């Protein structure tokens, strides 16, 4: 039997999912074990083996590959527990990472924080000034050498950085992506002057125009690369000692994975590792269910994540913001749009009720946890509205206190506003849902789409409690709550179902169209680089797909749009076709008539992605068919819709439901990992894979 395994390590839980070729699947979860996350990794493997009824050694011996989603890179950057990096850059431009294009003062902040401008600040410098050196050298926009590299000065700078404590060296010179010769020479000099030091060149890590983001990306990559290397190496040794002969793969933010030996040199690509598993899971499930366009909403205890699948592919972005720094990391576009169940409800000094964006976080968490939280959160309200069963939270793992929740709502909301606790809860629930609709809408609209063309998937502990309400507001056609055997470990399922994805890019800004030979040559170079890297992955692929795109823009306009480029060499007519495709995509994104074609086009960056399709694709097993109608296990008073108030609702136990069962709102479905709220006017049907498919008859 051949197995594939997905292991997703989050801050709180380590989830695992296993599938074999026959369609048998299993999942399990265990607490994460910071700071040494590998402990939890090994524990969850034991538990997974036990679930399958085999020994860990037997399981590992038959496992072709393990796909690992890790929060360690992201955590290291957020907490600052990173390698000490020395930074080398072009003379006159060291301050680029301090000026941060000035946007570093507010990048990634919410509107409420931006508005409170007096209290905004830039983050701590990426590299302290004593670890930065400028080099005499200069290359211009054409890649021409204007000033030769001062090698003696460079050697001295490297020695100075090492004696100032640098453990690793990041190099980012102006226009290095056009002509990497100086950077490569600096890299050689680092090897000579500081043998053994980890060194990263911006022309390798991120050969893209715009020096601020390129430098920040290279520096952060250098900060986490050595750490990731030191985490993966012993882990792999440990797995080998237990009988594992397959590949250990690491999930990247791009939604695809990479071999663990390749990961550390491009460590920064793993920062979205844990965020993207869910969207990949949605993509795979959507393929099974025949959904082309999906809004993925993952509402957990502390965050609300939204992503999109369009035409069967996750929507990606070419950059992201971390700690207010702009980074060039091609990744699935997963946006954090709220605080999830931890969002705090509060009354401002004008007597107006708000929900979020402040969060109770994991500590102290909602008031009902009894861990010291006194402010009311959305989770407290879900409890008081009868949606959450206090005895069945996280499958009964955590007992919730209605009294503490009610006290928090009474003190902070009900009394100040002169409302009953019930009415206060109803208002908080409705505000949370309406705001979610506003924020999800923004994600969809700014990607150039209309929410009415989408199906909405809702998962995470809290998502299904709210999804019908915000989905109706968005006018999506249908809501899917994934509830089959994958439900508890949906992200881990996504990992196990992923492929190898490698992305390479190169900026070479020019007026568009360039000569076909120049255009084809650029993609030829990228393809050759990808072929080398694929060969280094130590895997046999079922198939390899290449996708190319070019970032084009109208000369006067800011927005570059990644435009698909057909495979194979293009002639002048082919290039015109790319230009036309750009124009169409631009209009789709920014509206009809929005392109300033008269100004001409420019091509900024070439990019190619290789997808190495892995041989085993986990199949989801079907659940049993129903005989007869679904039987509620109980009834209780719930509040699901402000217009209808409190109602008696049927309560269903998901574990006794079967395919074909139809559940009419108002109703609540209690599953081991979540609770689904079905307001009046909505109908949920259990599909053949055990998912709940919800439609509503009115908004």
Interaction residues for other proteins, span 490-529 (CB under 8 A): 509, 511
Q: Is there binding between residue 142 and other proteins (CB under 8 A)?
A: yes
Among 290, 598, 628, 655, binds other proteins (CB under 8 A): 598
Among 39, 47, 62, 122, binds other proteins (CB under 8 A): 122
Is the alpha carbon torsion for 682, 683, 686, 689 positive or negative? negative
- Report the distance separating Cα 617 and Cα 497, nearest Å: 6
* Residue 350 interacts with other proteins (CB under 8 A): yes or no: yes
Does 359 contact other proteins by CB under 8 A? no
Torsion of CA 310, 316, 321, 327, to 10 degrees: -170
DSSP, collapsed to helix, strand or coil, labels residue 417 as: helix
Q: Which is nearer to other proteins, 448 or 632 (CB)?
A: 448
Closest separation in Å from C-beta 690 to other proteins:
34
Build a one-symbol-per-residue string for 369-408: x at contacts with other proteins by CB under 8 A, - elsewhere: ----------------------------------------
Per-residue b or e along 29-51, where b marks 16 or more CB atoms closer than 10 Å to that residue's CB: bbebbeeebbebbbbbbbbbbee
Considering only residues 11, 23, 31, 125, which one is a binding residue for other proteins as defined by CB under 8 A? Answer: 125
Q: Does 643 bind other proteins (CB under 8 A)?
A: no
Smallest distance from other proteins to CB 191, Å? 23
Residues 19-78 that bind other proteins (CB under 8 A): none
Q: Which of 313, 403, 438, 518 binds other proteins (CB under 8 A)?
A: 438
101 or 697: CB nearest other proteins: 101
Q: How far is the CB of 271 from other proteins (least distance, A)?
A: 22
Quick check: 156 binds other proteins (CB under 8 A)? no
Instruction: By CB under 8 A, tell whether 419 contacts other proteins.
Output: yes
Separation CA 76–CA 225 (nearest Å): 10
Site for other proteins in 89-118 (CB under 8 A): 90-96, 98-103, 105-106, 111, 114-118
Q: In what helix (H) or strand (E) does residue 605 lie, and over which residues does it extend?
A: strand 601-613
Which segments of 526-600 are extended strands (E)?
A: 543-554, 561-565
Bridge partners of 19, per DSSP, are 4, 25
Stretch that binds other proteins, among 19-27, 59-67, 299-307, 429-437 (CB under 8 A): 429-437
Question: How far is the C-alpha of 255 from the C-alpha of 303, rounded, in Å?
Answer: 19
Distance between CA atoms of 541 and 535, rounded to whole angstroms? Answer: 10
**Can you point out the beta strands (E) in 311-430?**
313-314, 316-317, 320-322, 325-327, 331-332, 335-338, 343-347, 353-359
* 447 in contact with other proteins (CB under 8 A): no
Q: Least distance from C-beta 409 to other proteins, angstroms?
A: 13
C-alpha 459 chain-centroid distance:
14
Sign of CA dihedral 667, 396, 341, 425: positive
Residue 627 found at the interface with other proteins (CB under 8 A)? no
Judged by CB under 8 A, the chain residues 522 through 581 that form the site for other proteins are 554-559
Residues 6+ apart with CB under 8 A from 355: 343, 344, 345, 346, 378, 428, 431, 432, 435
**Which residues ranging from 277 to 336 are in contact with other proteins (CB under 8 A)?**
none
194 or 425: whose CB is closer to other proteins?
A: 425
* Closer residue to other proteins in complex, CB, 77/355: 355
- Taking the least distance from each CB to other proteins, the nearer of 245 and 420 is 420
CB of 576 to other proteins, least distance (A): 19
């Amino acid at each position: 039997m051949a197995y594939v395994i997905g292991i997703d390590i989050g801050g709180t839980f380590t989830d695992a999912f296993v599938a074999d070729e026959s369609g048998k699947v299993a999942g399990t979860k265990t607490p994460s074990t910071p700071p040494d996350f590998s402990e939890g990794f090994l524990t969850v493997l034991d538990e997974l083996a036990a679930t399958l009824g085999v020994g860990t050694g037997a399981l590992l011996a038959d496992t072709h590959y393990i796909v690992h989603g890790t929060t360690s890179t992201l955590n290291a950057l957020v907490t600052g527990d990173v390698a000490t990096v020395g930074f080398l850059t072009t003379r006159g431009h060291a301050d680029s990472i301090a000026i941060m294009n000035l946007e570093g003062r507010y990048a990634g902040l919410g509107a409420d924080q931006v508005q409170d401008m007096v209290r905004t600040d830039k983050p701590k410098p990426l590299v302290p000034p004593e670890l930065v050196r400028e080099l005499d050298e200069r290359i211009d926009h054409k890649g021409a050498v204007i000033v030769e590299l001062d090698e003696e000065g460079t050697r001295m700078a490297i020695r100075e950085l090492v004696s100032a404590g640098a453990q690793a060296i990041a190099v980012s010179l102006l226009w290095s992506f056009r002509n990497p010769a100086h950077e490569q020479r600096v890299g050689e000099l680092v090897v000579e002057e500081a043998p053994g030091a980890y060194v990263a060149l911006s022309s390798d890590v991120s050969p893209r125009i715009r020096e601020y983001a390129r430098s920040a990306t290279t520096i952060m990559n250098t900060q986490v690369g050595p750490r990731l290397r030191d985490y993966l190496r012993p882990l792999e040794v440990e797995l080998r000692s237990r009988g594992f002969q397959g590949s250990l793969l690491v999930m990247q933010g791009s939604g695809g994975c990479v071999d663990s030996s390749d990961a550390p040199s491009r460590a920064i690509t793993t920062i979205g590792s844990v965020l993207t598993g869910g969207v990949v899971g949605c993509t795979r499930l959507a393929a099974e269910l025949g959904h082309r366009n999906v809004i993925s909403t993952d509402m957990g205890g502390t965050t609300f994540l939204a992503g999109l699948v369009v035409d069967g592919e996750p929507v990606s972005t070419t950059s992201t913001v971390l700690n207010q720094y702009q980074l060039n990391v091609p990744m699935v576009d997963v946006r954090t749009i709220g605080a999830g169940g931890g969002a705090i409800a509060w009354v401002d000094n004008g007597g107006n009720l708000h929900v979020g964006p402040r969060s109770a976080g994991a500590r102290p968490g909602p008031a009902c946890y009894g861990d010291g939280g006194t402010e009311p959160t959305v989770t407290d309200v879900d409890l008081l509205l009868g949606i959450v069963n206090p005895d069945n939270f996280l499958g009964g793992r955590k007992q919730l206190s209605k009294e503490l929740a009610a006290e928090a709502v009474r003190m902070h909301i009900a009394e100040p506003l002169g409302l009953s606790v019930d009415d206060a809860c109803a208002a908080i629930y409705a505000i949370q849902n309406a705001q979610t609709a506003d924020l999800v809408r923004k994600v969809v609209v700014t990607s150039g789409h209309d929410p009415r063309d989408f199906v909405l998937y809702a998962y995470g502990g809290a998502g299904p409690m709210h999804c019908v309400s915000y989905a109706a507001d968005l006018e999506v056609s249908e809501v899917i709550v994934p509830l089959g055997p994958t439900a508890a470990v949906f992200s881990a399922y996504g990992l196990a179902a992923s492929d190898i994805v490698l992305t390479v890019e190169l900026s070479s800004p020019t007026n568009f169209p360039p000569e076909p030979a120049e255009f084809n040559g650029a993609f030829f170079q990228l393809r050759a680089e990808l072929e080398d890297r694929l060969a280094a992955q130590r895997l046999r692929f079922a198939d390899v797909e290449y996708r190319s795109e070019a970032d084009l823009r109208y000369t006067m306009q800011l927005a570059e749009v990644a435009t698909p480029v057909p495979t194979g060499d293009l002639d002048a007519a082919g290039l015109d076709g790319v230009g036309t495709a750009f124009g169409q995509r631009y209009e789709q994104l920014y509206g009809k008539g929005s392109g300033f074609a008269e100004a001409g086009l420019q091509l900024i960056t070439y990019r190619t992605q290789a997808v190495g399709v892995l041989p085993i694709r986990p199949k989801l097993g079907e659940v049993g068919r129903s005989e007869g109608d679904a039987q509620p296990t109980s009834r209780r008073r719930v509040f699901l819709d402000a217009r209808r108030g409190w109602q008696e609702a049927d309560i269903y136990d998901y574990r006794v439901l079967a395919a074909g069962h139809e559940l009419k709102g108002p109703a609540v479905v209690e599953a081991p990992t979540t609770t689904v709220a079905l307001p009046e006017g909505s109908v949920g049907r259990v599909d053949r894979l055990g998912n709940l498919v919800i439609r509503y008859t009115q908004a």
